[in-house]
A and B are shown apart, each in its own frame.
Chain A
Amino acid sequence: MRFVQEFRDAELGRALAADIAALVEPGRSYKLMEICGGHTHAIYRYGIDGMLPEQVELVHGPGCPVCVLPMGRVDDGIAIAHEPGVIFACFGDMLRVPGSRGTLLEAKAEGADVRMVYSPLDALEIARANPDREVVFFAIGFETTAPSTALTLRRAKAEGIANFSCVCNHVTIVPPLQALLDSPSLEVDGFIGPGHVSSVVGVRPFDFVPAEHGKPMVVSGFEPLDVLQSIRMLLAQFADGRRELENQYARVVAWDGNPRALAVMAEVFEPRASFEWRGLGTIPRSALKLSDAYAELDAERRFTTPGVRVGDPPACQCGEVLTGAIRPWECKVFGTACTPERAIGTCMVSPEGACAAYYTYGRYARERGVTV
């Protein structure tokens, strides 16, 4: 298929890997953080980390919205799901995310009407088909997903669908990235920037990364050659003494983003004063809520929820994984008490989570001492 095969060419991949090796300066190491969970998944799926010189280390940032959702928000969702007459719609990954008293999947087993949907539009369709039921969509995701929710809420409002509402857990990428960069413990030399988030917000919002923190960033696509080329672009910057913001994914990402998407988001959402991120703490203006113009579609105003802050399980080191302080397998419960089948931490729940991606694609090779 066009746009796919040309970015999975093995010969070109080997050539890029050779270029990267040639750019490595003797005696120097490079720690590069991919912000986006989709990149983490691609890196392990295609064995990209195994193609890199030892001096180039990839660490995984906070780019999985499921992984950073605090347990209290899951508890709020479960409470709404148990309300009489409610159909609770969510993406598949949310079903197994543990709250303090179980998961949405367990709530479904207990009798709650919890349904997995592919899109917010599917949830709206359920509301149209069930006018006598309250349909609540549990919205989650970065700016990639927020326009989809916004467009659906605009449709619901325009059609006057009164039995539809939304729990908004949408988060924004720049504030947590700023928080990471402000952290004195962060040891990252450069960033692989989020591709599809940038298709919405553009590249420009990341200007501050090189300008204020002296770190290079390359916004990247998700095919193996995209990621390898982005790493090569970062290493070329180091070799040239540059610290710049570059766009490898120009076939999709415009420098100023998508004005239609930004407009509908501005209409439907407004920033929350602050939001709790699992492992990162509370970050100002890092999430979205429904604007007053859409208040009647806000499930948080329609239903009473516990709204209780719940601490992470003591054994869980998701926070350190999310900030790149430790690698997934260095967590004390990785692969033993915490597995994709029975996750303690959210990084193990979502396939885009760093721990799940590493468990699925890296664990057995590493245990056998095999280079992937």
Chain B
Amino acid sequence: MSGENCETCGDVAVRMVVLGFEEAEELALCRGEDGGRVRVDTGIVGPVAAGDSLLVHAGTALARERA
């Protein structure tokens, strides 16, 4: 849940910043807007790097945000 809504059941994604990346596992350690840290599956966005901004839904990175 994110605040008062459930991002997994809605078409909602939350922004997270990549802190580290395990390439073999395709998992990134990310920090959310609330400061919490979670492991995120990067299987559909490919390799990421520290500092990348991701949109994360249900524990999976959906996209890298482009400026």
Contact = CB atoms under 8 A, between A and B. Distances in A.
A277 B53 CA distance: 35
- Residue of B53, B60, B65, B67 with most chain A CB atoms under a 10 A cut-off: B60
Contacts of B39: 121
Nearest to A97: B9
Interface size class of A (residues with CB under 8 A): 35 or more
Contacts of B15: 1, 3-4
A91 B9 contact: yes
A196 interface: yes
B4 A37 contact: no
B11 A197 contact: yes
B58 A352 contact: no
Given A118-B58, A119-B59, A141-B58, A37 B41 contact: no
Interface residues of B, number: 30
Contacts of B53: 2-3
Interface string A197-210: 10110000000000
Task: Decide if the interface of chain B is mainly helix, strand, loop or mixed.
Answer: loop
Contact of A148 (B10, B57, B65): B57
Interface string B6-28: 10111111010000000000000
B29 interface: no
Contacts of A120: 58-59
Contacts of A13: none
Interface string A145-180: 101110110100000000000000000000000000
Given A251-B65, A264-B43, A351 B59 contact: no
Given A119-B58, A260-B44, A252 B6 contact: no
A3 B17 CA distance: 12
For the complex of A and B, the 8 pairs showing the least CB-CB separation, nearest first, are: A119-B59, A352-B10, A148-B60, A93-B9, A261-B44, A148-B58, A38-B11, A351-B5
30 contacts: A37-B10, A37-B11, A41-B10, A63-B10, A64-B10, A66-B9, A94-B9, A118-B59, A119-B8, A119-B41, A119-B59, A121-B60, A140-B9, A147-B44, A147-B62, A148-B59, A151-B43, A152-B41, A194-B11, A199-B13, A252-B55, A252-B66, A258-B63, A260-B43, A264-B44, A350-B10, A351-B5, A351-B6, A351-B10, A352-B12
